[in-house]
Structure 1
Amino acid sequence: MRVLVPFGARDPKSRLSSVFSPSERRDLAEAMLDDVLAALSDHEPVVVANAPVDAAAPTRVDDRPLTTAVNARLGEGPTAVVMADLPLVRGETITRLLDTEGDVVVAPGLGGGTNALVVRHPEFETDYHGVSVRDHRERARAVGATVSTVDSYRLGVDIDEPADLVEVLLHGDGKTTGWLREHGGRVETTDGRTRFRRDGRD
């Protein structure tokens, strides 16, 4: 099965700007990409980036919006789409995703996003705007495709906000976790609640 990994190489992870500089955000995004590609190492993934990036997999530069760039690569056989900001994902998680039956297999992210898809229906098209997990289910049904859902913590945690980084420090063991610790990242507990803190920036 073809596996696509979309990667936003231009000004990545802008919502982390309160804790990381632009160059640090780029490094962090590339560390997460490396973790995802490591989990996909048995599946020959292709990175679809909106600007050049040095990745441990073949890369295709496509500066069109995410939805357009992905849809241009669907319809030619079963295809998986795995986002590049899933640093907790592991090889066994990917195996479970790819082995799940259904014309369209959806792995939801927190907040209504779609962190991974498997597309086996030639008429299905993605839509990554808004509440995409709901939209993908509706689009699948509109073309008569069966829909399955993969309920996975490791696929569900994508990194957009500083609060998301707590999960990486608590549960990760890959390159992203190491990068965060090397750059002063830590988990702070106050009144029973955890949050991400960075030494020297608080």
Structure 2
Amino acid sequence: MRVLVPFGARDPKSRLAPVFSTTERRALAETMLADVLAALSDHEPVVVANAPVETPVPTHVDDRPLTAAVNARLTGEPTAIVMADLPLISSETITRLLATDSDVVIAPGLGGGTNALVVRDPAFETDYHGVSIRDHRETARAIGATVATVDSYRLGIDVDEPADLVEVLLHGTGDTARWLREHDGWIETTDGRTRFRRESSG
């Protein structure tokens, strides 16, 4: 099965600006990408980036929006799409995703996003705008495709906000968790609640 990894190389992870500089955000995004590619190493992944980026795998630069760039590569061949900001991902998680037998397999993210897809129906097209998990289910049903959901904590945690980094520090074992610790990331606990902090972020 072909595996695509979309990557936002242009101004990555802007919502992490309260805790990381532009240079740091790029480094963090590329570190998360490396963790995802490591989990996919047995599946010959291809990165689809919106700006040039160095990776150890074939990389195509496509500056179109995410939905258009992905749909242009859905040509009827069974294809998995795995987001690049899933630092808790593991090879076992990927095996489970790819082994799920359905025309469309969806791994939801928090807040209504879609963190991974497997597309086996040639009529299916992605739509990553808004509440994409709902839209992808509706699209699959509209074309008569079978739909399965992979309920996975490790696939469900994508990094967009500083709060998401708490999960990486608590549960991550890869390069991303190590990068955060090397850049003074830690977990503050106040009144039973946790949040990500940096020594340099105040």
The TM-score range, normalised by the shorter chain, is over 0.9
The Cα shift of 1:201 comes to 1.5
SS of corresponding position for 1:28: helix
- Does the aligned pair in 2 maintain the 1:75–1:121 contact within 8 Å? no
- Residue in structure 1 matched with residue 182 of structure 2 by the alignment: 182
> Aligned partners of 2:55, 2:82: CA distance in 1, in Å?
15
DSSP-derived class of the 2:163 partner: helix
What is residue 162 of structure 1 aligned with on the other side?
A: 162
Aligned twin of 1:95? 95
Matched residues in 2 for 1:79 and 1:99: separation? Answer: 12
Deviates more, 1:152-161 or 1:50-59: 50-59
Code of the residue aligned with 2:136 in structure 1: it is H
Matched, 1:66 2:66: yes
Structure 1 vs Structure 2: percent identity of aligned residues?
79
Indicate the SS of the match to 2:187. Answer: strand
SS across alignment from 2:148? strand
Q: Assess if the C-alpha contact under 8 Å between 2:7 and 2:50 holds in 1.
A: yes
1:81 aligns with 2:76: no
TM-score calculated relative to the size of structure 2: 0.99
State the match for 1:146 in structure 2. Answer: 146
Matched ranges for 1:22-33 at <5 A? 22-33=22-33
**Deviation, structure 1 residue 85:** 0.1
Q: Report the secondary structure of 1:111's partner residue.
A: helix
SS in 2 for 1:162: coil
Query: 1:75: how far off?
Result: 2.7
Large movers: runs of 4+ above 3 Å: none
Question: What corresponds to 1:51 in structure 2?
Answer: 51
Between the aligned partners of 1:85 and 1:170, the Cα distance in structure 2 is 16
- Alpha-carbon deviation of 1:57? 1.1
Unaligned runs of 5+ in 2: none
| C-alpha distance in structure 2 between counterparts of 1:4 and 1:100, whole Å | 17
What's the counterpart of residue 110 of structure 1? 110
TM-score, length-scaled by structure 1: 0.99
- 2:106 touches 2:116 (CA, 8 Å); kept in 1? yes
Which SS does the other structure have where 1:42 is aligned?
helix
Q: Distance in 2 between matches of 1:57 and 1:200?
A: 34
Asked if structure 1 preserves the Cα contact closer than 8 Å seen for 2:76 and 2:121, the reply is no
In 2, distance between residues paired with 1:56 and 1:194? 35
The CA deviation at 1:199 is 0.8
Amino acid at match of 1:72: A
